[in-house]
Structure 1
């Protein structure tokens, strides 16, 4: 087992690892999260024994949550040596990793957290506990981590537009209906179901598993150029007057109501904040 502050790696079986993300109280994703998760992906990619990795959360009520707005400057400053945004590098390497990644989703996954989740190969959601949202438009910016690029491919143009433009929370049943997740499973069955899928894939020949993944990736993944363009658009959008006007209103609601209540029902409160902006 390896500890990366926010991430714990455990060996479930010789070919299976579990990565648990814990960043209480609400699992926001900051620059530090991105750096650590990229290190985790690198570590697992270098282990030839690893064939399947299950990603889950150690924070009740939250999977990978939205970006930490207090760390936006730090997120935008993260770039690798050739200028590729570190976020784009993370989601690209995750999608192309030499293992099958499976998300076991309990709780809320929104914005940047949802964009990480969309980069996993398979996404299984608790029917009772999982919630999905791309909230950016409601706060005056645009998605930057690949949410629009991936949702358009998964949901189709009209449903992707609905999800992104309304900034609503979507429960697991609707997410399953739309194709946002691979499958919604009763919460009591989620762990056994994910474990069974992981064990079955791990029992197959690794070369055939990764060869099939590469074939499907060629047909379905957004080009890196599109991801870079989305990140550049997001970077520009944080300077827009609409964002600057809405953030104080959201901060006021958090001060009045409390961050935990806001985060539990973010889609509803974003609508209230916009009425006051």
Structure 2
């Protein structure tokens, strides 16, 4: 059963498996964000579904990271205004994001890419709308009434890691795949709850190590750090995910939903507040010469036939300021 060109949806024994169908490179984009959000909402209305598995359509793929091409396309109008706004830039971003969060509430009544989206294309508001929807998806997963298992059979970096961290369980296949907040390697910051979740899962010291250095962990390292529930052999990943899902299906759905709510209540600060605070910081980082230089370098290296993994290995030893000049 296909929910959209970007999602395939399968049901088996009260478990819904959502498979992400990403373009070459495994990059997350706005259409996939919107399709996944719509799919999760529709599953809530299906009484026969008791648990959800989120994975990639093909072995070896999950979410490499959010598309840098899309980030820099929608950031360009804001970048042009930044020198003029100067000290008012954070206030302008907070105001624009607040408006975007209000506007995307209309998504429930009408399809994405509605009239407001068409009017705002090519303006700073377009980026705010995309960012607000990306963060709404994180909140949706974090507050989802059903247990959600991320079965990671590929790289889960940047927004891919943030999406996985918003799930209740993470299973990861061993191999060449990496989990990591790689934003510092591309001139950005974790802008969709990554820092919030890492601090709570690993403590501030480990979170600082992962985020400031852009460390990328394999399955066993991620499991040891407490970021992954279980590391598995690649051939056993889906079976392990379904076994875990069946354990959850056997529990009372009301009980599971209540426990999830209690776990959220026990957190000292809300994800919504964390996201709101990170929004101007993320947009500030996206509108820097360092970020633009990283995107240009990535496109050049991909055009030369290098993979995303090779590009990130290169970035981990690079001084971003050398390529872009002093930060502003």
Q: Is the 8 A contact 1:132 1:172 kept in 2?
A: yes
Deviations along 1:2-46, whole A, 9 cap, x unmatched?
Answer: 321111111111x21100001132221111111111111111122
Answer with 1 or 2: which has the greater Rg.
2
**Which range moves more in the overlay, 36-45 or 222-231?**
222-231
Q: Equivalent residue for 2:31?
A: 32
Q: Equivalent residue for 2:190?
A: 143
Which of 93, 113, 122 is 2:140 aligned to? 93
Q: Equivalent residue for 1:230?
A: 278
Check 1:82–1:225 CA distance in 2 against 1; reply closer, same or farther (3 A cut).
Answer: farther
Which of 149, 163, 172 is 2:210 aligned to? 163
SS of the residue 1:19 aligns to: strand
Any unmatched runs of 5+ in structure 1?
A: none
Deviations along 1:160-179, whole A, 9 cap, x unmatched?
Answer: 11111111321111111111
Q: Is the counterpart of residue 248 in structure 1 residue 269 in structure 2?
A: no
Deviations along 1:205-245, whole A, 9 cap, x unmatched?
Answer: 11111111211122247430111221331112111222133
1:17-96 to 2 correspondences below 5 Å: 17-72=16-71, 73-74=73-74, 79-81=100-102, 85-96=132-143
**Which range moves more in the overlay, 28-37 or 73-82?**
73-82
* Cα distance, 1:155 vs structure 2: 1.4
Q: Is the counterpart of residue 193 in structure 1 residue 214 in structure 2?
A: no
Tell me, in whole angstroms, the C-alpha distance in 2 between the residues paired with 1:104 and 1:200.
Answer: 16
Deviations along 1:185-212, whole A, 9 cap, x unmatched?
Answer: 2223222211111111101211111111
Tell me, in whole angstroms, the C-alpha distance in 2 between the residues paired with 1:133 and 1:16.
Answer: 28
Q: Is the 8 A contact 1:25 1:59 kept in 2?
A: no
Tell me, in whole angstroms, the C-alpha distance in 2 between the residues paired with 1:25 and 1:246.
Answer: 19
- TM-score, normalization by structure 2: 0.77
* Cα distance, 1:273 vs structure 2: 5.1
- TM-score, normalization by structure 1: 0.90
Q: Is the 8 A contact 1:167 1:267 kept in 2?
A: no
Check 1:273–1:247 CA distance in 2 against 1; reply closer, same or farther (3 A cut).
Answer: farther
SS of the residue 1:81 aligns to: helix
SS of the residue 1:47 aligns to: coil
